């Protein structure tokens, strides 16, 4: 079975064709870089996405966050539920883990310095 | 704040930050950034999604992270910054008049000025979309500010007009924060957004994209209650009988960005009709000596990475202007030919050594085409392309040898 | 019990309220919306007409000419910007020219001064952007332009400064006659009592009269659609340009505004549904007609479009009289164009009617002046800095397009009539009126409002309950 994908790794948006046989990737065509190949391989087996959002703080201000690794696409709304239940009560700098293992080994990290 | 500055940079977003660092590193040590917001970083602060920096840093950063890479660099240097300061006017002698709470209304006249004010969103009014004027109508960027910075959801059921990147990003953001995005409508036959954004912002969430469609009526007296969407013909006129109705409480407009060139205009700086920004040489100097422009105030870029790159040119050349004074210009023009909507820089100064990277956009989607650069009918350079789309900026690098060969104006055209 | 209750916070109600506030009456203005000036007074051309349109002997003719003469001083006293730009009725053919002669004659009979018919050369010298097909024009140097909502708000604010009360969100639904007056009920059962009631409810004035038992007139709606262009194009024309009127009316105009925008419109369509909506057909008509008048009209610089629904009667003239059915109810209704121009004169006239009934005395402490709408912009740098030193909020620009400071926004919330929503701030300060249409400043203005009023951001509205800007916190 062949699957056609638009790569989301970078603005090129390469059109990639993946050949899948018995649940395994047989070949990847159309990518222009290694990241594209990896994306295509993941996308047909278990699609992954980085989730970005905000976490509220005790002061009421919002702090921007992201998952430090892509999470399973199927779990995006579960991840959002966890993000929305958090209230940050401490200062953070970019990269600080706010919630570990939000989906498998992906952590939720701050993408903004926050100093109340 | 000091009394005199060599360079004053208007705007502390990605363009201004990169220009400041570059100017400093190229020898100008007496620099001031004027920023109207309470923090540096500009619009990146509200662009909390990832995908920034892939070209420059080879990693996928969020907007605030990308901005912070440059803010750190500014902070590491002796560069003055005035926040909460709005520039009211710029004169052709480089006198800047600004206002803030600390100094009131004040003026400074630096040796060089860098314009990096960014752009604004085209509003509903610019399109004259008929209907009522209830609450719930926002430009995508305003909605982004409410959601990402203020932490409020503008509405629950959303229709978006325009498939530019901000519109696509907001379709996903509103969805993640609990709203239902019913449709994204695009009057053109193609999206001006990045392909990957259509994939991960719309397709991931099964949000339909209606190409060749526009909103023909907004309904509701206090709050939006619905919109009528119609298909358009090749002249962008709505086709009767194609109306679809959506019950929604929110309409977002993502219908283009306009460089904010009111200060530029006030100073009498020549502007291009095509870019709605200043006309510049390859060093990003405007037609007024010592006033430079870079970033989205000059041309609306697709990627912040290119904004930084362009601003570094402006910063370095402003430093050169401050250190070495005005140089004589020997300009030829760069003109957009067939199928090309604009070329920047609009002028190449033959006295400035080095290669020149031309930025331009095509007017339509073209496959298996050829970019041709010529002068006086002589082809200087050609570049084959598998695909060109209006939403993605194209570039060609002209070597100094090629430029030397140009007898007259340089024309860039697309052949297919 | 109030001596006088004015129903309707438009320019007629507002100027009458202000005229009455010079006397020792207890007075109150009832407005059904969240703010004053929410009907046709906020959505019209803003023209101070010279007075040659109205037929000789009509109330329209009388009050127009008088109002046009009063307007410069009236506006100045209230700090409202008025520009005496003059108007041109443009002729495109010989029958138009014949009509110009009629207008000239009519205008002179009405008492309009300085009217003159000019030839094509003079016309194009005055207005280089007028179509080359134009062959002559009627020039009226006494005409002008004014910001209609600034005038209305200033008149009401000044009346309030002089003791008048304002009750907003009061939609009159029922009236009880009492021994010496009336008891007025709102939709949500609030009550106000007054001896005399003046009906200035614009498009809603039939309903108001009916509530009193007066069924003598019927007000209908005429939709007028407009397009407003960026101030960048503000110099495109310098006079108000009219087409030569036909039986259908004055047609669309091309004019500057007091705030240096360009306004195009209005269409004129009789409608049953008085919701102010713009239509594809209407906006297309505005653009097409503007291009006939001025082929280079910079439509691309459009920043917004809007509609005003004008109240008119089939009779064609204003109705300004005590109700024949109900004593002590005064109807000021059917006041379409030139209502804005006529307002100060109508107000004097109605005030005299009240004086004849209630015999009030002039207040010694009446103060007719008000801080000008442009007070901060027009100051010198030294004066601005003096203010910023005392109040740093005047050093913070909130609306970048119109360069409006936080101080001006706070002032609009605190002074009479107090702004309570985003649109109210927009009309008082111009914050959000510019080329980005509030895209940048609206969230900040909303925060300032929430802070000043001590409420949550979710309670801040565009123009009253039901028009909340945001629906909930995201988390």
Closest CA to C30 of C7, C52, C56: C7
If asked whether residues A23 and A59 sit together in one domain, one would say: no
Are A61 and A104 contained in the same domain? Answer: yes
A35 with A60, same domain: the answer is no
Q: Count the neighbouring beta carbons within 10 Å of the beta carbon of residue C345.
A: 22
Question: How many Å apart are CA C457 and CA C450, to the nearest integer?
Answer: 6
How near does any CA of chain A get to the CA of C429, in Å? 28
The set of residues, in sequence order, having a beta carbon less than 8 Å from that of B359 and lying 6+ positions away, is: B299, B306, B343, B344, B393, B394, B395
- For B259, B359, B384, the CA distances from B364, given in Å and listed in that order, are 22, 16, 16
Whether C458 and chain B come into contact, CB under 8 Å, resolves to yes
The set of chains that have 3 or more CB pairs under 8 A with C is A, B
Q: Collect all residues of chain C within an 8 Å Cβ-Cβ radius of residue A55.
A: 475
**What is residue B190's predicted lDDT score, i.e. its pLDDT?**
86
ipTM of predicted assembly, 2 dp: 0.94
In sequence order, the β-bridge partners of residue C166 are C29
Whether residue A38 is found in the same domain as residue A66: no
Question: Is there a single domain that holds both residue A25 and residue A58?
Answer: no
How big is chain A by its Cα radius of gyration, in Å? 17
Of B86, B105, B177, the CB nearest to C384: B105
Q: Does domain B123-255 have CATH number 3.40.50.2300?
A: no
Q: In the CATH scheme, what architecture does the domain C1-82+146-219+313-373 have?
A: 3-Layer(bba) Sandwich (3.50)
Beta strands B104-108 and B96-100: pairing type?
Answer: antiparallel
Place of tokens 């002028």: B347
Lookup: tokens for A63:
């702090």
Q: Answer yes or no: same fold for B1-120+257-327 and B123-255.
A: yes
Give the residues across from B226 on adjacent strands: B219, B247
pLDDT tens readout for residues A53-111: 999 999 999 999 999 999 999 999 999 999 999 999 999 999 999 999 999 999 999 99
A59 in contact with chain C, both atoms CB, cutoff 8 A: no
Domain annotation covers residue A116: no
Residues of chain C numbered 343-382 and touching chain B (CB < 8 Å):
381
Note down the domain range covering A59: 52-110
Chain centroid, CA C145 distance in Å: 11
Question: What is the spatial distance between Cα B358 and Cα B89, in angstroms, rounded to a whole number?
Answer: 30
Q: Is C239 a catalytic residue?
A: no
Residue B249, H or E segment? none
**What are the strands, taking DSSP E only, across C73-151?**
82-83, 87-91, 116-119, 136-140, 144-146
Reported CATH class of domain B1-120+257-327? alpha beta
* Shared domain check, A58 and A102: yes
Q: What is the CATH number of the domain that holds A76?
A: 3.10.530.10
The answer to whether residue A115 sits within a structural domain is no
Q: Does residue A69 belong to the interface with chain B, where contact is any CB pair within 8 Å?
A: no
Question: SS3 breakdown of chain C: % helix, strand, coil, rounded to 5?
Answer: 35, 25, 40
Touching A (3+ Cβ pairs <8 A), the chains are B, C
Q: What is the pLDDT of residue C211?
A: 98
User: Which pLDDT tens digits describe chain B residue by residue (416 residues)?
Assistant: 898 999 999 999 999 999 999 999 999 999 999 999 999 999 999 999 999 999 999 999 999 999 999 999 999 999 999 999 999 999 999 999 999 999 999 999 999 999 999 999 999 988 989 999 999 999 999 999 999 999 999 999 999 999 989 999 999 999 999 999 999 999 999 888 887 889 899 999 999 999 999 999 999 999 999 999 999 999 999 999 999 999 999 999 999 999 999 999 999 999 999 999 999 999 999 999 999 999 999 999 999 999 999 999 999 999 999 999 998 999 999 999 999 999 999 999 999 999 999 999 999 888 889 999 999 989 999 999 988 888 889 999 999 999 999 989 999 999 98
- Are residues A58 and A33 located together in one domain of the fold? no
Q: How many CB atoms lie within 10 A of CB B268?
A: 12
Shared domain check, A56 and A40: no
* Secondary structure of residue B302 in the 3-state scheme: coil
Give the span between the Cα atoms of B411 and B229, in whole angstroms. 40
Where are chain C's structural domains? 1-82+146-219+313-373, 87-141+222-309, 381-459
Does A94 contact B at CB distance below 8 Å?
yes
Can you tell me the distance from the alpha carbon of B222 to that of C422, in angstroms, rounded to the nearest whole number?
13
Residues A23 and A73 in one domain: no
Among the listed residues C368, C417, C415, the one whose alpha carbon sits nearest the alpha carbon of residue C9 = C417
C242/C227 Cα distance (integer angstroms): 15
Shortest distance between the Cα of B105 and any Cα of chain A, in A, equals 30
| B chain contacts of residue C442, beta-carbon cutoff 8 Å | 142
Chain A, nearest residue to C456 by Cα: A60
Assign domain C87-141+222-309 to its CATH superfamily: D-Amino Acid Oxidase, subunit A, domain 2 (3.30.9.10)
Using the structure block, give the residue that is written with the tokens 């430079």. B292
Q: What is the pLDDT of residue C131?
A: 98
Q: Which fold has domain B328-416?
A: Immunoglobulin-like (2.60.40)
A24 and A71 both lie in a single domain: no
The interaxial angle of helices B165-176 and A76-85, nearest 10 deg, is 70
How many Cα atoms within 13 Å fall on the side-chain side of residue C283?
22
Nearest to C374 by CA among C316, C337, C429, C417: C429
Taking an 8 Å cut-off on Cβ atoms, the answer to whether A52 and B48 are in contact is: yes
> Cβ contacts (< 8 Å) between B133 and chain C: which residues?
276, 306
Same domain flag for A34 and A13: yes
Question: C-chain residues within 8 Å CB-CB of A54?
Answer: 474-475
pLDDT by position in tens, chain C (length 475): 999 999 999 999 999 999 999 999 999 999 999 999 999 999 999 999 999 999 999 999 999 999 999 999 999 999 999 999 999 999 999 999 999 999 999 999 999 999 999 999 999 999 999 999 999 999 999 999 999 999 999 999 999 999 999 999 999 999 999 999 999 999 999 999 999 999 999 999 999 999 999 999 999 999 999 999 999 999 999 999 999 998 777 889 999 999 999 999 999 999 999 999 999 999 999 999 999 999 999 999 999 999 999 999 998 999 999 999 999 999 999 999 999 999 999 999 999 999 999 999 999 999 999 988 888 988 999 999 999 999 999 999 999 999 999 999 999 999 999 999 999 999 999 999 999 999 999 999 999 999 999 999 999 999 999 999 999 999 9
CA dist., res. C233 & res. C260, Å (int): 8
Return the pLDDT at A11: 63
Residue A13 forms contact with B (CB below 8 Å): yes
Q: Which chains touch B (3+ CB pairs under 8 A)? A: A, C
Residues A13, A40, single domain; the answer is yes
Q: Where are the beta strands (DSSP E) in C133-274?
A: 136-140, 144-146, 165-167, 172-178, 181-186, 191-199, 220-229, 240-243, 253-256, 262-265, 269-271
pLDDT of residue A15: 87
- Rounded-to-integer distance, Cα C159 and Cα C16, Å: 9
Q: How many separate domains does chain A show?
A: 2
- Please say whether the beta carbons of B206 and B235 come within 8 A: no
Task: Output the DSSP codes for chain A.
Answer: -EEEEE--SSTT--EEEEEEETTEEEEEES-SSHHHHHHHHHHHHS-EE--EEEEEETTS-EEEEEESS-EEGGGHHHHHHHHHH-EE-S-B-TT-EEEEEEETTEEEEESS-B--
- B302 contacts on A by Cβ (under 8 Å): 11
Domain residue spans of chain B: 1-120+257-327, 123-255, 328-416
State the fold for domain C381-459: Arc Repressor Mutant, subunit A (1.10.10)
- Subunit contact B130:C282, Cβ cutoff 8 A: yes
């Amino acid at each position: 079975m062949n699957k056609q994908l638009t790569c989301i790794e970078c603005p090129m948006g390469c059109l990639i064709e993946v050949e899948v046989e018995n649940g395994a990737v047989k070949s990847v065509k159309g990518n222009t870089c290694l990241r594209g190949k990896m994306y295509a391989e993941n996308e047909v087996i278990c699609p992954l996405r980085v989730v970005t959002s905000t976490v509220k703080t005790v002061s009421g201000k919002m702090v921007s966050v992201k998952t430090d690794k892509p999470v399973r696409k199927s779990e995006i709304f579960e991840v959002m539920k966890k993000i929305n239940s958090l209230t940050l009560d401490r200062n953070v700098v970019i990269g600080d883990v706010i919630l570990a293992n939000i989906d498998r080994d992906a952590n939720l990290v701050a993408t903004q310095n926050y100093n109340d | 704040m000091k009394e005199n500055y060599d360079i004053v940079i208007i705007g502390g977003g990605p363009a201004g930050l990169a220009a400041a660092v570059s100017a400093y590193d190229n020898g100008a040590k007496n620099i001031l950034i004027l920023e109207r917001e309470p923090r540096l970083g500009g619009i990146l602060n509200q662009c909390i999604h990832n995908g920034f920096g892939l070209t420059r840093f080879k990693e996928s950063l969020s907007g605030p992270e990308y901005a912070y890479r440059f803010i750190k660099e500014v902070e590491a240097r002796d560069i003055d910054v005035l926040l909460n300061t709005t520039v009211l006017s710029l004169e052709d002698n480089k006198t800047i008049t600004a206002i803030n709470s600390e100094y009131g209304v004040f003026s400074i006249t630096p040796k060089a000025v860098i314009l990096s004010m960014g752009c604004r969103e085209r509003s509903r009014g610019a399109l004259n979309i008929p209907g009522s004027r209830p609450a719930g109508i926002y430009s995508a960027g305003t909605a982004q500010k409410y959601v990402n910075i203020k932490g409020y959801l503008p509405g629950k059921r959303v229709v978006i007009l325009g498939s530019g990147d901000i519109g696509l990003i907001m379709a996903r953001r509103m969805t993640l924060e609990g709203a239902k995005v019913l449709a994204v409508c695009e009057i053109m036959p193609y999206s001006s957004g990045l392909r990957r954004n259509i994939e991960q912002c719309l397709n991931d969430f099964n949000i339909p994209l209606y190409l060749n469609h526009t909103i023909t009526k907004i309904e509701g007296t206090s709050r939006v209650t619905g919109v009528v969407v119609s298909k358009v013909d090749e002249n962008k006129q709505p086709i009767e009988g194609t109306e679809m109705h959506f019950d929604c409480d929110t309409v977002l407009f993502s219908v283009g960005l306009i460089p904010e060139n009111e200060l530029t205009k006030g100073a009498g700086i020549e502007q291009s009709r095509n870019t709605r920004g200043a006309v510049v040489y390859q060093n990003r100097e405007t037609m007024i000596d010592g006033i430079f422009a870079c970033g989205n105030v000059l041309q609306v870029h697709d990627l912040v990475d290119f904004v930084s790159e362009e601003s570094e040119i402006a910063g370095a050349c402003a430093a050169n202007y401050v250190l070495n004074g005005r140089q004589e210009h020997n300009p030829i023009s760069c003109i957009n030919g067939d199928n090309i909507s604009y070329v920047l820089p609009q002028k190449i100064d033959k006295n400035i050594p080095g290669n020149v990277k031309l930025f331009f956009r095509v007017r339509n989607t073209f496959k298996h085409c050829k970019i041709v650069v010529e002068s006086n009918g002589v082809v200087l350079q050609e570049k084959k392309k598998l695909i060109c789309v209006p939403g993605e900026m194209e570039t060609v690098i002209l070597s100094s040898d090629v430029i030397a060969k140009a007898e007259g104006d340089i024309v860039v055209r697309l052949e297919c | 019990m109030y001596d006088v209750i004015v129903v309707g916070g438009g320019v007629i109600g507002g100027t009458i309220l202000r005229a009455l506030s010079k006397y020792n009456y207890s007075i109150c203005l009832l407005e059904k919306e969240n703010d004053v000036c929410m009907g046709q007074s906020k959505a019209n051309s803003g023209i101070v007409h010279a007075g040659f349109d109205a037929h000789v002997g009509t109330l329209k003719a009388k009050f127009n000419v008088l109002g046009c003469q009063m307007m410069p001083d009236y506006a100045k006293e209230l700090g409202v910007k008025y520009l005496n730009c003059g108007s041109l009725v443009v002729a495109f053919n010989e029958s138009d020219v014949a009509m110009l002669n009629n207008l000239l004659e009519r205008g002179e009979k009405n008492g309009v001064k300085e009217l003159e018919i000019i030839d094509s050369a003079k016309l194009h010298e005055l207005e280089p952007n007028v179509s080359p097909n134009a062959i002559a024009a009627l020039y009226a140097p006494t005409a002008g332009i004014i910001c209609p909502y600034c005038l209305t708000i200033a008149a009401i604010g000044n009346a309030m400064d002089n003791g008048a009360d304002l009750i907003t969100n009061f939609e009159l639904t029922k009236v009880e006659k009492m021994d010496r007056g009336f008891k007025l009920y709102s939709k949500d059962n609030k009550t106000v009592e007054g001896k005399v009631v003046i009906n200035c409810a614009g498009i809603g004035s039939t309903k108001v009269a009916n509530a009193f038992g007066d069924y003598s007139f019927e007000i209908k709606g005429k939709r007028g659609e407009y397009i407003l262009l960026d101030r960048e194009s503000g110099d495109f024309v310098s006079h108000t340009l009219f087409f030569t009127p036909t039986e259908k009316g004055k047609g669309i105009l091309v004019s500057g505004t007091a705030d240096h925008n360009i306004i195009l419109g209005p269409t004129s369509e009789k409608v049953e549904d008085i919701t102010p909506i713009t239509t594809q057909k209407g906006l297309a008509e505005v653009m097409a007609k503007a291009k006939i008048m001025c082929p280079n009209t910079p439509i691309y610089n459009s920043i917004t479009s809007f509609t005003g629904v004008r109240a008119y009667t089939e009779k064609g003239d204003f109705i300004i009289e005590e109700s024949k059915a109900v004593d002590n109810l005064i109807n000021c209704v059917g006041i379409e164009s030139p209502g804005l121009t006529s307002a100060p004169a109508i107000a004097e006239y109605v005030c005299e009617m009240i004086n004849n009934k209630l015999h009030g005395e002039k207040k010694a402490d009446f103060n007719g002046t008000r801080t000008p709408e442009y007070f901060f912009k027009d100051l010198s740098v030294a004066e601005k800095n003096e203010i910023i030193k005392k109040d740093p909020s005047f050093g913070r620009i909130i609306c970048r397009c119109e360069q409006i400071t936080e101080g001006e926004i706070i002032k609009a919330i605190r002074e009479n009539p107090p702004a309570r929503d985003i649109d109210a701030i927009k009309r008082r300060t111009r914050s959000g009126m510019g080329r980005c249409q509030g895209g940048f400043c609206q969230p900040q203005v909303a925060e300032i409002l929430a802070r000043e009023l001590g409420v949550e951001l979710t309670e801040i509205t565009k123009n009253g309950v039901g028009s909340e800007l945001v629906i909930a916190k995201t988390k």
